[in-house]
Amino acid sequence: MKRCPECGREYDNTMMFCLDDGAELLYGPAKSEPGAIATGFPSDEPQTAILHSTAAPGEAPTRAQIQMTDQTAVLPTGTGDIFPQPRGFHKRLLAVPLLLAIIALGGFFGYRYFKPAGGGPINSIAVLPFQNRSGDPNSEYLSDGLAESLIYRLSQLRELKVSPTSSVAQYKGKDTKVATIASELGVDAVMTGRLAQIGDNLTISVELVDVRNNKLLWGEQYERKMSELLAMQREIAATITQKLQLKLSGEETGLTKKYTNNNEAYQLYLKGRFSWNKRNAESLKQAVEFYKQAIEKDPGFALAYAGLAETYVVFPSYLAGTPKESMPKAKAAALRALELDDSLAEAHAALGRYLNDYEFDPAGGEKELRRAIELNPKYVTAHSWLAVVLSWQKRFDEAIAEAKIARDLDPLSLISSAEVGNTFVSAGRYDEAVTQLNETLKLDPNFSAAHFYLGRAYLYKGMEQEAIAQFRKAATPAERRRAMGPLAVALISSDERAEALAILSELKAEAANGNVSAFSPAQAYAALGDKEEALTWMERTIADRWHHSYHFANNPEFDDLRSDPRFKAILKRANLPE
């Protein structure tokens, strides 16, 4: 058990802060604070607003009410032991979109529009992955999805900095102190949550801590019948808004927006996001199936179409499918999402990436990606993809600026950090690329993409042995096919042709099956000085619509081909600058 050092109240070991006075809980005996008032604060501190559950006698607790005093910190009382031991779980878990609105509105409004004593307004927040207390690992998608969806909703508020999912995911399952997390992420407040399903009952507990003064700003426990969730969604959100007497601006409608009326569709959407975040060929295929099932349940579910578009559009990058197989599907899903809801930044971004990568239309791609950023300036993926499009056009200063925005929005994201280095490589700024990519590898020495991009930087600096070492590190089972092409180039440059030719033979066979891009044999043949074969494989890369085509305009191994009329025609077909 834990005890509050201020009021002596006991809690189970999962709690971190006292729900009465916000003090950090300790193991061992409590220490009384002379002069403390009923709320647990010293007598010279102001009183607080109390957020608590109310219900008529015999009525299930289904509505959050707010009772205001002169001051503003929001604290619940009397929640007791949050989670009894789970028993008799149903395998069926229903999604809970209304709880996102409850938590987002209750938690956000409870601290954003009122100033906690001595701390000033909260301007930044991290929402950690929820703890799954259901005892069923198959429900991990729900605990992760709930936090991610809450992050998505809070990110609609332009003045609030919200740590992206990729930054907070690293803390899942770790016993890291809230103050440490806040310091590493650079936020004022941290929200934690736990959930459990017992029979037909779902219990969710959330806490929001102002780490600047180590005080609990807001906490609440929600207990609902599954059958009541959707019916109560708008009433609960409206009640919280009304009681706080706040007016939502047009930018804040995402907090209460109802994306679907179908619980099962929303549950499948969360499963799709869970699979998408794993980012490998098999998990992306799983994500597609979940999104399709969600759409079958609710054909008007725009977010599911956007998720489907985001997934299909990266199939070629992860070799989960060929461009001709997946990219038309990405386009169809993105257009359907925008037909249903033109305000979805994700759908605009996916359409932009499709236009750039598949239609060879960088101007159209840039337009859609800038629209996505206009709708959601904090959308990390849109900034990263815009950097690719700008590199495609050799607008390197702008591309580097966008890549840095993505990195700064998500400073602990490995891929965002690595993409800055990759953009430096495309710009021919190899020393800066090496510096940046070594910074990425300090975050994770085993991150394959950083080794891959660092290998490219070393290769073009003329450091072939260092490049070979990095490409071998990058050639993990999941990334091997992507690393083989540049490895062959590095081996050729260092006169290790026997291995290079063996790799080239393998690449040609894989390309014939559609398992790798035709770009890989093209760059190997270019490094060998076999112009005819290089140009033939380049033409095939364009014909197959592989997005790697844009490297033809930048990569040094193609320099000896630039005066050839066939090379110029290839660049023109791909709408690439000479």
Please write the tens of the pLDDT for every residue from 508-519. Answer: 999 988 888 999
Per-residue model confidence (pLDDT) at position 475? 87
DSSP of 447-494 = -HHHHHHHHHHHHHTT-HHHHHHHHHHH--TTTHHHHHHHHHHHHHHT
> pLDDT for 147-165, tens place per residue?
777 777 677 666 778 888 8
Mean model confidence pLDDT for the chain = 77
Closest C-alpha among 222, 134, 178, 132 to residue 25: 178
Q: 342 or 67: which carries more pLDDT confidence? A: 342
Q: Give a yes or no: residue 423 inside a domain.
A: no
Please say which residue of 219, 246, 273 terminates a domain.
246
Please say which residue of 246, 277, 303 terminates a domain.
246
Average pLDDT over residues 407-422: 90
> pLDDT for 12-54, tens place per residue?
655 666 655 556 677 655 443 333 323 232 333 333 333 333 3
**d(Cα 53, Cα 574) in Å, to the nearest integer?**
61
Q: 157 or 532: which carries more pLDDT confidence? A: 532
Q: Which of 137-146, 168-177, 393-402, 418-427 is predicted least confidently? A: 137-146
Q: How far is CA 401 from CA 12, 418, 436, 453, in A?
A: 48, 14, 14, 18
Query: Do residues 127 and 162 touch, judged by C-beta distance below 8 A?
Result: yes
Per-residue model confidence (pLDDT) at position 542? 95
> pLDDT for 286-321, tens place per residue?
999 999 999 999 999 999 999 999 999 999 988 889
Structural domain of residue 519, as residue ranges? 475-578
Closest C-alpha among 382, 300, 295 to residue 347: 382
Kindly state the tokens that stand for 379: 């959308």
Q: 24 or 427: which carries more pLDDT confidence? A: 427
> pLDDT for 446-501, tens place per residue?
999 999 999 999 999 999 999 999 999 998 876 778 889 999 999 999 999 999 99
Closest C-alpha among 123, 122, 140 to residue 131: 140
Q: How far is CA 357 from CA 316, 335, 520, in A?
A: 10, 16, 17
Has residue 3 got a pLDDT over 90? no
Per-residue model confidence (pLDDT) at position 42? 33
For residue 411, give every residue at least 6 positions away whose Cβ sits within 8 Å of its Cβ, in sequence order, or none: 167, 185, 186, 417
Q: Give a yes or no: residue 116 inside a domain.
A: yes
**d(Cα 45, Cα 310) in Å, to the nearest integer?**
50
Per-residue model confidence (pLDDT) at position 128? 86
**Residue 184's domain is classified under what CATH number?**
3.40.50.10610
Please say which residue of 246, 268, 293 terminates a domain.
246
**d(Cα 574, Cα 358) in Å, to the nearest integer?**
9
Per-residue model confidence (pLDDT) at position 433? 97
Has residue 237 got a pLDDT over 50? no
Q: Which of 185-194, 227-236, 292-301, 441-450 is predicted least confidently? A: 227-236
The CB density around residue 450, as the number of other CB atoms within 10 Å, is: 29
CA 194 to chain centre: 20
Q: Which of 79-93, 264-278, 325-339, 377-391 is predicted least confidently? A: 79-93
> What's the pLDDT band for 119 if we cut at 50, 70, 90?
low
Q: 66 or 176: which carries more pLDDT confidence? A: 176
Closest C-alpha among 430, 499, 514, 502 to residue 466: 430
Q: Which of 7-16, 165-174, 222-231, 432-441 has the highest mean pLDDT?
A: 432-441
Q: Give a yes or no: residue 146 inside a domain.
A: yes
Percent of residues, the chain, with pLDDT higher than 90? 43
**d(Cα 442, Cα 537) in Å, to the nearest integer?**
37
Has residue 61 got a pLDDT over 90? no
> What's the pLDDT band for 58 if we cut at 50, 70, 90?
very low
The number of CA neighbours under 13 Å toward the Cβ of 416 is: 21
Query: Do residues 320 and 326 touch, judged by C-beta distance below 8 A?
Result: yes
Per-residue model confidence (pLDDT) at position 397? 97
Q: Give a yes or no: residue 141 inside a domain.
A: yes
Q: For residue 267, which phi and psi values (nearest 5 degrees)?
A: -60, -45
Per-residue model confidence (pLDDT) at position 196? 76
Residues written for the chain = 578
Q: Give a yes or no: residue 27 inside a domain.
A: no
**d(Cα 296, Cα 477) in Å, to the nearest integer?**
34
Per-residue model confidence (pLDDT) at position 306? 96
Q: Give a yes or no: residue 192 inside a domain.
A: yes
Q: Give a yes or no: residue 175 inside a domain.
A: yes
**d(Cα 164, Cα 185) in Å, to the nearest integer?**
10
The reported pTM is 0.70
Q: Give a yes or no: residue 111 inside a domain.
A: yes
Has residue 92 got a pLDDT over 50? no
> pLDDT for 240-294, tens place per residue?
333 323 344 444 455 556 788 887 888 788 888 888 887 788 889 999 999 999 9
Counting the structural domains of the chain, the total is 2
> What's the pLDDT band for 186 if we cut at 50, 70, 90?
confident
Per-residue model confidence (pLDDT) at position 8? 76
Q: Tokens 């290998």 belong to which residue?
A: 455
